[in-house]
Chain A
Amino acid sequence: MVVIPSTLMGDGAAQSKRIPLTQLARGQRAMIDSESLNTLAEADRCLLRAMGIHESCELKVCKAGAPCIIEVERTRVGLCGSVASKVFVKPCDGCPAA
């Protein structure tokens, strides 16, 4: 799937409120807040980035709660509650919960 980063599509997301990933509902889309991953341990942060979950990337919540399952591009990643609660995101406007 060709994913155009939301930063190139206008900045509706940037105006959204910054919330932990755990507060997103199933089906909701959001962008990882810049600097948000810095609160994680370095090994986890680097691993997430290598998996494609980096600052400003757009994600979809496949399963809310703990574990939280998100989808970025074609990658699905499960995050335990302790990690998901430290990742802050900005919900994308116009992408309501499924």
Chain B
Amino acid sequence: MAAQQPDELEALRVYSTERPPRAALLGQPNTGKTTLFNRLCGSRARTANIPGTTVESRVGLAATTHGALEIMDLPGIYGLSLEVPESKLCRDCLDGRIGDVAPDVAVIIADATNFSRSLRFASHALRRKMPCVIAITLADDARRKGFSVNAAALSECLGCPVVITSGRTGEGVDELADAALRAALHGISLESFERRLNHLPSSSVSESDLAKWANDVLVEVASGRLAAASSVSDRVDRALTHPVSGLATFILVMSVLFASIFWLAQFPMNGLDLIFGTSGDWLRAVMPAGPLRDLCVDGIIGGVAGTVVFLPQICLLFFLLSLLEDSGYLARAAFAADKFLRRFGLPGQAFVPLLSSHACALPGIMSTRLIPDPKDRLATILVAPFMSCTARLPVYVLLISLLFAGRPWLAGLAFVGCYATGAIAGLFSAFLVRRTLLKGPARPMLLEMPPYRRPSVRIALWVMYDRGVLFIKNAGSMILAICVVMWWLSAYPKVAPSPELLQMRAQTSEVALQANANPEQVQALESAVNLLESREQQLGSMAGKIGLIAEPLFQPLGFDHQLTVAVLTSFLAREVFVSTLMIISSTDANDEASLLDRITHNRRSDGTLLFTIPTAASLLVFFTLAMQCLPTLALVRRETQSWKWPLLQFAWMSGLAWSMAWIVRQALLTGGF
């Protein structure tokens, strides 16, 4: 690399002070690009969509000895000229057609452990008329294997600065930032660009001749020889992609992964629950009663708590997925799942989002970013919420306990049936959508198998932090707004207490004033009165009125207006259904037996039992299949950048849920239940 004197550099600093120069990291997947980015920017990075696109990019600031350099980590691509969205995006970005401003310098990543291929990639990138710097990554890894590159000789060969780096050890990272800043400040003259072009093969050269050119350069600038991948890798690959051992390993790894998520996440989830609960109680105690307090406690804290409580699961999922991806296993696992999922029009990479959705659809949908093909990704997003998430569990527990009280084996089978129903409906929907709206089979699997590496905990922590922040930002904006609107609908207008309620309250006060009053009995009475008041308020609220209007829609499923309100309010989040049932059943929230008993004996206004077996079964089927989750819809809107897909998803899932629930009810009624 041709070194510049510091004073010369200072003289060049006539650059606009409005923004730091921007460097774009351009490279192939699995070449250590993101590790290098993390080294360059550390925590001074954020993930955001590239303006005007749905593709994410990480942007950060690198500190150099001569000022800051903004760095943009472009998506990993195999070639700039490929007609795939990521390549097109990189081209547009480098040309300044998207994003607020074109990069001032391209940092081209060349993997030292796969040098010939990297040179071929670089030869295309260097043909663009812009300042370029070559960063040779994984240099430490290559050296350990007996291969090294002479940076000065390569710089001479390619006509641009070259820096040897290692994202893992930090080697050459500062020099790279300096070199990129210097190149950005210098710009590129026509003369130096033409000089660079003279070093490169013609743009029309065949792949074979390009490979020959790369080998000639390699012979000139490199020393040593990288041995072929070990036979151990071959054996592991065979085992991990074998129809039997591959599938068994896949099931084992995924079971451990999701068991860890369920088990480990429960502790911080309980903590978050406690924090939000305590904050709500504290705010309720210190703020004067009124709409503002209700908004803060029930609307904002309640709404955010319902979403943020899943943050530990999301963080843990991305931490573990990052470790798996870094180790090289995910590419093998994708092949293990591909054969099965392909039958339904989904790619092998869809298995991670679908399995993650069993914890929560939100991280599941976020992890669809692992899927490279846009149609495959969209199909996966559309069917992911069919998988039974943890938020459905309380509803399953309640309704299955109602249906199979005292028959644990049948209850267990019903649980399995709920999970299976969701999965089958998801695969069936994927099958349909790939034959209608997103026509065409899933793209054939052509996947680079990255070498097996010891995963980096540091990178996994970065990924976890990044995803967590993104999730919180999302929860703090659109999801919060929607939650507040839903809260308002269910809390307003305020209704005056009914004469029966006023009478009950008066009786409770009388009992409390009696000298021999039992405090527990008084508390139970007060609790019952409060619940009745909530029930009246809910039925009189906007959501309650909507429930009355919507009742005819749910009548064929056996739901009365109370149950319709519960279903509608649970649209905010599925688990709300149980608390709403507690309210409409006028029972004590802390007494499960009492709740079950009350629900079992709950009656319609005509005096008939509300929860007959057909009604309870249809409600269970409805909840298994329906899209009763507002945060998921908001996230789908964000991921697809359109309201079309979430609305379509909502209509399909709700329609399917209603139809299946109706069929189940009719079948049970016909069967004499």
A binding-site residues for B, Cβ under 8 Å: 1-5, 7-8, 26, 42-44, 46-52, 54-57, 60, 62-63, 66-67, 69, 71, 73-80, 82-83
**Of B229, B238, B241, B335, which one neighbours A74 at CB under 8 angstroms?**
B229
Residues of B within 8 A of A5 (CB): 208, 211-212, 215
A46 touches which of B79, B212, B219 (Cβ 8 Å): B79
A3 contact set on B, CB distance < 8 A: 116, 211, 215
Q: Known: A50-B79, A62-B237. Contact between A82 and B331, CB under 8 A?
A: no
Confirm or deny: B499 has a beta carbon within 8 angstroms of a beta carbon on chain A.
no
Of A5, A26, A47, chain B has the most CB atoms within 10 Å of the CB of: A47
| Cα A3 to Cα B342 with chains together (Å) | 36
Q: How far is the CB of A39 from chain B (nearest CB, A)?
A: 13
Q: Are A77 and B447 CB-contacts (below 8 A) given A4-B215, A50-B79?
A: yes
B187-241 contacts to A (CB < 8 Å): 206-208, 211-212, 215, 218-219, 222, 225-229, 233-234, 237-238, 241
| Pick from A8, A67, A74: contact of B117, CB under 8 Å | A74
A52 to B215, CA, bound (A): 13
A-contacting residues of B (Cβ < 8 Å)?
Answer: 78-79, 81-84, 113-114, 116-117, 120-121, 206-208, 211-212, 215, 218-219, 222, 225-229, 233-234, 237-238, 241, 331-332, 335, 338-339, 342, 443-451
**Bound complex: CA A83 to CA B342 (Å):** 14
Report chain A residues within 8 Å CB of B83: 42-43, 46
**With A2-B218, A78-B447 as given contacts, are A55 and B207 in contact (CB-CB < 8 Å)?**
yes
A47 touching B445 in the complex, CB below 8 Å, given contacts A1-B228, A3-B215, A63-B238? no
| Contacting residues, chain B, for A8 (C-beta < 8 A) | 212
Which of A44, A60, A67 is packed against the most chain B CB atoms within 10 Å?
Answer: A67
Contacts of B444 in A (CB 8 A): 44, 79-80, 82-83
**Closest Cβ of chain B: how far from A1's Cβ, in Å?**
5
Please tell me if the beta carbons of B445 and A63 are within 8 angstroms of each other in the complex. no
Q: Is the CB of A71 within 8 A of B229?
A: yes
Q: Name the B residues within 8 Å of A71 (CB-CB).
A: 228-229
Query: In the complex, A54→B120 CA distance in Å?
Result: 12
> Shortest beta-carbon distance, A43 to chain B, in Å?
7
Q: Could you tell me the dominant secondary structure of chain A's interface residues? A: mixed
User: Which of B79, B211, B444, B451 has the largest count of A CB atoms less than 10 A from its CB?
Assistant: B444
Residues of A within 8 A of B79 (CB): 46, 49-50
Q: Which chain A residue has the least Cβ–Cβ distance from B208?
A: A56
Chain B, residue nearest A62 (CB): B234
Residues of chain A lying within 8 A (CB to CB) of residue B222: 2
Whether A47 touches B338, Cβ cut-off 8 Å, given contacts A2-B218, A62-B237, is: no
Quick one: closest B residue to A66, CB to CB? B339
CA distance A36 to B666 in the complex (A): 58
Q: Which residue of A lies closest to B338 (CB)?
A: A80
**Sampled A-B contacts (7; CB under 8 Å):** A2-B218, A2-B225, A50-B79, A54-B207, A79-B445, A79-B446, A80-B338
User: Which of A49, A63, A75, A80 touches B234 (beta carbons < 8 Å)?
Assistant: A63
Residues on B with C-beta less than 8 A from A7 are 208
Question: Closest B-chain residue to A73, C-beta based?
Answer: B116
**Is the beta-carbon distance between B448 and A43 smaller than 8 angstroms?**
no
Q: Which residues of B contact A83 (CB under 8 A)?
A: 444-446
Residue of B120, B121, B212, B445 near A67 (CB, 8 A) is B445
Residue of A3, A80, A83 with most partner-chain B CB within 10 A? A80
**Is A75 in contact with B117, judged by CB distance below 8 angstroms?**
yes
List the 7 shortest-distance A-B pairs measured between CB atoms, nearest first. Answer: A54-B207, A50-B79, A50-B78, A76-B449, A80-B445, A74-B114, A1-B226
Once the chains are docked, how many angstroms separate the CA of A80 from the CA of B340? 12
Point out the residues of chain A lying under 8 angstroms from B229, CB to CB.
62, 71, 74, 76
Distance between B406 CB and nearest chain A CB, rounded to angstroms: 50
Chain B residues, CB < 8 A from A47: 78, 82, 84, 446
B336 (CB) vs chain A CBs: closest residue: A67
CB <8 Å contact, A78 and B117: no
A69 x B117 contact (CB < 8 A): no
- Measured CB to CB, the nearest residue on chain B to A34 is B208
Contact A69 to B449, CB < 8 A, known contacts A2-B215, A74-B117: yes
**Are B227 and A1 neighbours in the complex by a CB distance under 8 Å?**
yes
| Cα–Cα, bound, A3→B114 (Å) | 11
Min CB distance, A60 to chain B, in Å? 7
CA distance A74 to B229 in the complex (A): 7
Q: How far is the CA of A73 from the CA of B111 in the complex (A)?
A: 13
Which A residues touch B84, using CB under 8 A?
Answer: 43, 47
A92 to chain B, nearest CB (A): 15
Residue of B nearest to A7 (CB): B208
B445 contact set on A, CB distance < 8 A: 67, 78-80, 83
- Smallest distance from the beta carbon of B240 to chain A beta carbons, Å? 10
Contacts A2-B225, A74-B229 given; indicate if A67 touches B338 (C-beta within 8 A). Answer: yes
Please indicate the chain A residues that have their CB under 8 angstroms from the CB of B219 in the complex. Answer: 2
Contact A44 B215 (CB under 8 A): no
The closest CB in chain A to the CB of B373 belongs to A43
Minimum CB–CB distance for A55 against chain B, Å: 6
How far does the Cβ of A84 sit from chain B's closest Cβ, in whole Å? 9
